[in-house]
A and B are shown apart, each in its own frame.
Chain A
């Protein structure tokens, strides 16, 4: 048992950031999800919304590992930021040697056009866009892709729901 839990107001009054870096391997996604779920619980999200956050985080991490990293030695970075109204998760990959910027490769456009219940793959981006209050896809300076998604504790606090694709870094 931890000796000290900071009071809830202390966590929520200011903007906090937690960064986690992990090798590009599916084996780490479960523990990352567990961390995000526990944090969302602490922040006061409702159980159904926590399931949305968990699934969206899972899908974005999978995409970063599968499409945005060369091998196990590559590093995926997750930056979680939160305050009293907003919970944001940024997942950053560094691209692969063969394919920098999977976003630029047209994958986003392709999956949006080709998605069907019969298709085996390509549902992750659709799920993230459906579950998060805000999603932004952006190229980064590492040659990879940043996916930033935000969830609001109270939907009335959500200034503008939407999806943004930024093809130029």
Chain B
């Protein structure tokens, strides 16, 4: 396979909390990178995760599924995955799958951070 850089994922840490900024489309290719990054954070005992999707224009069921899976893991350690800045078209995908019932979604990063 030709090595092509993955979608841009940046992580900011605030104490026990990590804020993950995703930039670009979250399709099957990028979802695998996002999942690896989140699993690394969980391995570092970071259980309070805010995923900021402000710069994401497209998300598929693999990426949403990865977020649900990581949320299940961190909830076992009294943490959570909170999603913020979701565009309407992305929110629709969460709604269709039913993920908006199992993941907390906030309008802004400030609200998501404040919810911990």
A→B interface (CB under 8 Å):
25-27, 29-30, 33, 48, 51, 54-55, 58-59, 61-62, 65-66, 72, 116-121, 123-124, 126-127, 130
For residue B89, which residues in chain A have a CB less than 8 angstroms away from its CB? 48, 51
Report the interface size class on chain B: 20 to 34
Residue of A25, A27, A62, A72 near B60 (CB, 8 A) is A62
Closest to B7 in A: A30
A59 and B29 contact, Cβ closer than 8 Å, known pairs A72-B1, A117-B101, A117-B102 = no
Report the minimum CB–CB distance from A29 to chain B (whole Å). 6
Flag if B28 contacts A65 (CB, 8 Å): yes
Q: Would you call B96 and A130 a contact (CB within 8 A)?
A: yes
Q: Which residues of B contact A118 (CB under 8 A)?
A: 68, 72, 102
B32 proximity list for chain A (CB < 8 A): 26
Kindly report which residue of chain B lies nearest to residue A124, judged by CB atoms. B61
- Cβ proximity bits B27-38 to A, threshold 8 Å, 1 near / 0 not: 111001000000
Question: Which chain B residues lie closer than 8 Å to A65 at the CB level?
Answer: 28
User: How would residues 87 to 113 of chain B score, 1 for a CB under 8 Å from any chain A CB and 0 otherwise?
Assistant: 001001100111101100000000000
Interface centre among A33, A62, A72, A116 (most CB of B within 10 A): A62
B62 at interface by CB-CB < 8 Å? yes
Q: List 26 A-B contacts (CB under 8 A).
A: A25-B1, A30-B25, A33-B58, A51-B58, A54-B58, A55-B60, A58-B27, A62-B27, A62-B62, A66-B28, A117-B68, A117-B98, A117-B99, A117-B101, A117-B102, A118-B68, A118-B72, A119-B68, A120-B66, A121-B62, A121-B65, A123-B61, A123-B97, A124-B62, A126-B97, A127-B96
